[in-house]
Amino acid sequence: DAGVTQSPTHLIKTRGQQVTLRCSPKSGHDTVSWYQQALGQGPQFIFQYYEEEERQRGNFPDRFSGHQFPNYSSELNVNALLLGDSALYLCASSSGPDQTQYFGPGTRLTVL
Amino acid sequence: KQEVTQIPAALSVPEGENLVLNCSFTDSAIYNLQWFRQDPGKGLTSLLLIQSSQREQTSGRLNASLDKSSGRSTLYIAASQPGDSATYLCAVEGGSYIPTFGRGTSLIVHP
């Protein structure tokens, strides 16, 4: 079992650009959540996908959007990047009654 | 709005000490509370999950307790080891099913 995987591991972008981050959930998991973690802070919930639909959303602007595919993998898209979007982006998967979230290693995004 | 506070923010102890990390939350209407470990620049590893109906969970040298009425949880680490050095985060999941994390306790266990 490969666990939760994320790509790429690091990314450098400039202000105004767009970025797409990818996540493959743990085998057997159908729910994917995305988090943003700024340096020295706890993760902030962005949104959660289940059955290809956005089920919950945190307090993030519409510049942050996502998608879940039929194989349960997911993408996070961020448009019009700002310097403040620089952070570690974490993906977590879970399934059914087991509420334990399993996290991937994250994607480090730097916006210059 | 749920707020989660973790105390202390940082802790440095000699190997072998027993430790208590604290987590408090403002809204007691929660479904569960989860403790995580995070190594520098890495993702999170789940340590223990306590359902709202439970009082505590144990795994090896780790024991987590939950007191919903007072809005508190503690993570007890017995006989600490240098490999325990990491940031420990607690997360509370309430009625919105949106987890709220604390800022973490950074732990260093020196030999």
Q: Please give chain B's pLDDT, 111 residues, in tens.
A: 899 999 999 999 999 999 999 999 999 999 999 999 999 888 999 999 999 999 999 999 999 999 999 999 999 999 999 999 999 999 999 877 788 999 999 999 999
Residues of B in contact with A58 (CB under 8 A): 98
- Average pLDDT score over residue span A68-95: 96
pLDDT at A1 over 70: no
CA B12 to chain centre: 16
Least confident of A84-88, A100-104, B106-110: A100-104
**Residue B96 pLDDT:** 72
User: Which of B43, B49, B99 comes nearest A105 by C-beta?
Assistant: B43
**Mean of the per-residue pLDDT values for chain A?**
94
Closest-CA residue of chain A to B51: A99
Structure tokens at A82: 């700002």
**Residue A97 pLDDT:** 66
The CA distance from A11 to A52, in Å, is 26
Residues of B in contact with A42 (CB under 8 A): 4, 89, 91, 101-104
**Residue A95 pLDDT:** 87
Q: Is A44 on the interface with B (CB under 8 A)?
A: yes
- Average pLDDT score over residue span A74-81: 98
- Average pLDDT score over residue span A9-34: 96
Structure tokens at B92: 């509370």
pLDDT at A88 over 90: yes
- Average pLDDT score over residue span A89-102: 85
Instruction: Please report where in the chains the tokens 């403002």 appear, as a residue.
Output: B26
pLDDT at A98 over 70: no
Closest CA to A6 of A96, A69, A94, A88: A88
Question: How many helices (H) and strands (E) in chain A?
Answer: 0, 11
